[in-house]
C-alpha cells in the first residue's frame, strides 16, 4: 500500500476530465492536480517550450511527494512524456498511449481518425503509437484549433460549433474511418455535436477513461495502489488543486467539470521551478 | 536626435499592426519588437500575471537600450501600463489612451462601444479613460473571446465569423452607439466583417493608427526623435524581432501582417528576466 498522491497535470482545466475519471475508477487514490492557467493553451506552442513547462511542473509535483505522474494533456503527452519519463524515478503515463490502444482494439476496418490540437497532430505521436500497436492500421489526422475556444465559450451544442465540426471532420469522414480518437481533453465536452456530424456508425474514443484504467495497471504492477486509509485506519483521501493563474476562476470551472465542489485551489509561481534552485514559498503573482 | 530604438511588445503577433503603423508614420525610427508567443494569449489571464509578464519583457527591452516603450497589446496596456510607467525612466505608452482620445473626438451622440478581450473589458480601462476625457460620454463594452481564434484560423470573411460578430455586437447596436473601438490588435483584421454587422453609420476606431501618432508626440516632446542616420551620415534604420517561442512561425505571420519581409526573428528565454538577476545569454528552449 502507498497512500502518497498521484500527480496529474494539464495546461489548464481540461485535464480535470482525466482527474475525474481517476477519482471515479480509483476512489482510494489522492490527487495533486496542477493546471498551467498562466500559460494555457499548449496546443499551438513548440515542443521545446512544452518540455520546459512540463519539467517545471514535474519539479513542483515532486515537492508534493507524488508516487506517479499522469500527463493529462495530449499536447504535453505528445511532446514531453518521453523526456520526462527518462528524468524521474517514478512511473509517468500520458493520455495518448491508452487512447491509442483502445482505438486499435475498437477498429474493425483498421481505419482510425484522430482529432487534436496542432501540436499533438504535428507531433505525429498518435500515428507512431498506433502503428507500433499494429503496423497495418491506417491513421487520418486533423487539427481542430477552434474546438477549445468554442468549448471555453460554452457553445457545446451550438449551430456554429456544428458548422465548424462539419468542416473539420468532412475530409476525415471521406476516408471511411470507423473509429475516432478525441485527442484533446476538451473534445469529449462536445461529443454530442461531433456525434451529429459523424453519425452512429463510428466509435468515439475518450482517452481520459482509458488513462485511468492504464494508471490502475501501473499502480498494481508497482505494488503502489492506495487503500485510502490514514495511520489510524480512518478514511483519508484528499485532492489538492494548484494553478499558475486565476485560482478562483479555475475553482468555478472545476466544479462544473467534476460535478462536485473542490476543497481549495492554490496559486503557484511555476516559473521558479527551474533547474535545482531553492524554491521559495511565495505564491504566484495572482495572489499578491 | 536619438537613434536608439523604440521597444514594442505584445502577447504575440497582433502588436505587429502597431509596429507597422510606427514604421509607416515614423520611418526614421528603429524598432525592437518582442512577442510573448510562449505565453500567448494575455486576454483571459489575471492582472497580476500580466504585470509579471510585462515586467520581464520590459527588463529584456531595457537590455536593448530602447529610448521609449510601446505596449502594443490592449490587455497589457489595461493591466500593466500604470505600473510599468512608474518603474522605468523612459516614456511608456499604451494603445488604450490614444484609441480612447480618438473615439471621444469622433462621437457625435456621446455613445461609444468598445470590443476587446475579457481582460481588457473587465479592467474597465477604456471606460475610465473615456470618462476622464469627457464625463458625459456613455460607454458600452463587450468581450469577444472568439474573435482572436477565428482570426488566427484565417476565417476573416467567413460566414461563421459573421454569425459570431452578429451575436457579440447585437446588444451593443441596440444602445445606439455611433463609434466603436476595436480594442484588441487582432480585430482590425476582421474590420470588413464587423462593418457588415454594424453598417456604414458607425465610426470604427483602430488604436494602432492613433498609437503611432501619440508616440510621435511623445518623442517630439522629449526631443528624442530619430533621424535614421548612422555615424557616417548613412541611412541606418533597423528593426529587430524577438519572441519567446516558435520564431519561424512568427516570421511567416509577420511577413503577412507587415506586408514585407523581416530580417530575422530571435528566440529569447523570457522567464529569466526576473528581478535583478544576471541574464545569461542562452536563447529560449525553442532554439535548443
Three-state SS for A126-142 is HHHHHHHHCCCCEEEEE
What's residue B286's pLDDT?
54
* B36 has a chain A CB within 8 A of its CB: no
C-alpha distances out from residue B246 to A101, B32, B36, B77, B233, Å = 32, 17, 10, 24, 37
Inter-chain touch A164–B160, beta carbons under 8 Å: yes
What is the mean predicted confidence (pLDDT) over B201-214? 96
pTM: 0.92
pLDDT digits (tens, 9 = 90+) for B155-205: 999 999 999 999 999 999 999 999 999 999 999 999 999 999 999 999 999
A73 is catalytic: yes
Q: Which residues of chain B lie closer than 8 angstroms to A37, CB-CB?
A: 45
| Confidence tier at B288 by pLDDT (50, 70, 90) | very low
Inter-chain touch B49–A246, beta carbons under 8 Å: yes
Smallest CA–CA distance from B165 into chain A, residue = A160
* B285 has a chain A CB within 8 A of its CB: yes
What is the mean predicted confidence (pLDDT) over B111-118? 97
Stretch among B100-104, B150-154, B200-204 having the lowest mean pLDDT:
B150-154
What's residue B281's pLDDT?
45
- What is d(CA A45, CA B247) in angstroms, rounded to the nearest whole number? 11
- What is d(CA A89, CA A69) in angstroms, rounded to the nearest whole number? 10
Of B40, B164, B285, the CB nearest to A52: B285
Find out whether A8 and A33 touch, Cβ atoms under 8 Å: yes
DSSP labels, B92-103: EEESHHHHHHHH
Q: Which residues of chain A lie closer than 8 angstroms to B150, CB-CB?
A: 146
* A45 has a chain B CB within 8 A of its CB: yes
Q: Distance, in angstroms, between A219 CA and closest chain B CA?
A: 33
What's residue A231's pLDDT?
87
Q: Distance, in angstroms, between A139 CA and closest chain B CA?
A: 24
What is the mean predicted confidence (pLDDT) over B118-129? 96
* B52 has a chain A CB within 8 A of its CB: yes
CA nearest to A18, candidates A96, A110, A104 = A96
Q: Distance, in angstroms, between A167 CA and closest chain B CA?
A: 11
Q: Which residues of chain B lie closer than 8 angstroms to A148, CB-CB?
A: 149
Find out whether A88 and A110 touch, Cβ atoms under 8 Å: no
C-alpha distances out from residue A49 to A55, A121, B195, Å = 10, 16, 38
Assess whether pLDDT exceeds 60 at residue B124: yes
Q: In the sheet where A203-205 sits, what is the strand order?
A: A138-143, A111-116, A179-182, A203-205
Taking 70 as the pLDDT cut, the residues of chain A under it are 275-288
Inter-chain touch A163–B160, beta carbons under 8 Å: yes
* B164 has a chain A CB within 8 A of its CB: yes
Q: Distance, in angstroms, between A106 CA and closest chain B CA?
A: 32
Smallest CA–CA distance from A52 into chain B, residue = B285
> Residue B177 has which C-alpha cell?
452607439
CA nearest to A241, candidates A31, A15, A24, A55 = A31
Scanning the structure block, which residue is given the C-alpha cell 498562466? Answer: A38
- What is d(CA A159, CA A222) in angstroms, rounded to the nearest whole number? 47
Inter-chain touch A285–B46, beta carbons under 8 Å: yes
Tell me, what's the ipTM?
A: 0.90
B73 is catalytic: yes
CA nearest to A194, candidates A186, A122, B151 = A186
Evaluate the CA torsion angle A282, B76, B145, A79 in order and state its sign. Answer: negative
DSSP 8-state class, residue B190: G
Q: Distance, in angstroms, between B245 CA and closest chain A CA?
A: 7
* B282 has a chain A CB within 8 A of its CB: no
Assess whether pLDDT exceeds 90 at residue B275: no
Q: Which residues of chain A lie closer than 8 angstroms to B48, CB-CB?
A: 284-288
* A27 has a chain B CB within 8 A of its CB: no
Inter-chain touch B284–A49, beta carbons under 8 Å: yes
* A80 has a chain B CB within 8 A of its CB: no
Among B residues 252-271, those touching chain A with beta carbons less than 8 Å apart: 271
Q: Distance, in angstroms, between A133 CA and closest chain B CA?
A: 31
CA nearest to A21, candidates A193, A197, A202, A211 = A211
What's residue A213's pLDDT?
96
What's residue A256's pLDDT?
80
Smallest CA–CA distance from B55 into chain A, residue = A285
* A160 has a chain B CB within 8 A of its CB: yes
Inter-chain touch B163–A164, beta carbons under 8 Å: no
What's residue B249's pLDDT?
87
- In the three-class reduction of DSSP (H, G, I as helix; E, B as strand; rest coil), residue B89 is classed as coil
* A46 has a chain B CB within 8 A of its CB: yes
Amino acid at each position: 500500500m502507498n497512500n502518497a498522491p498521484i500527480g496529474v497535470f494539464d495546461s489548464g482545466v481540461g485535464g480535470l476530465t482525466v482527474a475525474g475519471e481517476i477519482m471515479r475508477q480509483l476512489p482510494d487514490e489522492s490527487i495533486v492536480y496542477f493546471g498551467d492557467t498562466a500559460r494555457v493553451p499548449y496546443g499551438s506552442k513548440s515542443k521545446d517550450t512544452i518540455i520546459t513547462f512540463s519539467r517545471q511542473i514535474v519539479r513542483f509535483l515532486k515537492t508534493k511527494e507524488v508516487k506517479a505522474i499522469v500527463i493529462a494533456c495530449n499536447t504535453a503527452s505528445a511532446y514531453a512524456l518521453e523526456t520526462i519519463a527518462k528524468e524521474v524515478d517514478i512511473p509517468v503515463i500520458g493520455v495518448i498511449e491508452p487512447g491509442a490502444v483502445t482505438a486499435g482494439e475498437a477498429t474493425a476496418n483498421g481505419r482510425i481518425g484522430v482529432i487534436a490540437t496542432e501540436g499533438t497532430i504535428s507531433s505525429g505521436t498518435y500515428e507512431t503509437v498506433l502503428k507500433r500497436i499494429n503496423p497495418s492500421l491506417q491513421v487520418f489526422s486533423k487539427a481542430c484549433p477552434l474546438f477549445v475556444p468554442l468549448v471555453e465559450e460554452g457553445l457545446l451544442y451550438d449551430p456554429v460549433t456544428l458548422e465548424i465540426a462539419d468542416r473539420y471532420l468532412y475530409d476525415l469522414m471521406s476516408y471511411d474511418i470507423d473509429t475516432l480518437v478525441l485527442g484533446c481533453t476538451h473534445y469529449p465536452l462536445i461529443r454530442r455535436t461531433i456525434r451529429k456530424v459523424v453519425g452512429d456508425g463510428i466509435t468515439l474514443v475518450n482517452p481520459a477513461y482509458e488513462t485511468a484504467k492504464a494508471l490502475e495497471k501501473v499502480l498494481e504492477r508497482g505494488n503502489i495502489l492506495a487503500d485510502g486509509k490514514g495511520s489510524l485506519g480512518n478514511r483519508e483521501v484528499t485532492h489538492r488543486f494548484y494553478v499558475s493563474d486565476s485560482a478562483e476562476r479555475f475553482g468555478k470551472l472545476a466544479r462544473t467539470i467534476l460535478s462536485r465542489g473542490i476543497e481549495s485551489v492554490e496559486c503557484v509561481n511555476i516559473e521558479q521551478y527551474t533547474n535545482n534552485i531553492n524554491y521559495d514559498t511565495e505564491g504566484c503573482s495572482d495572489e499578491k
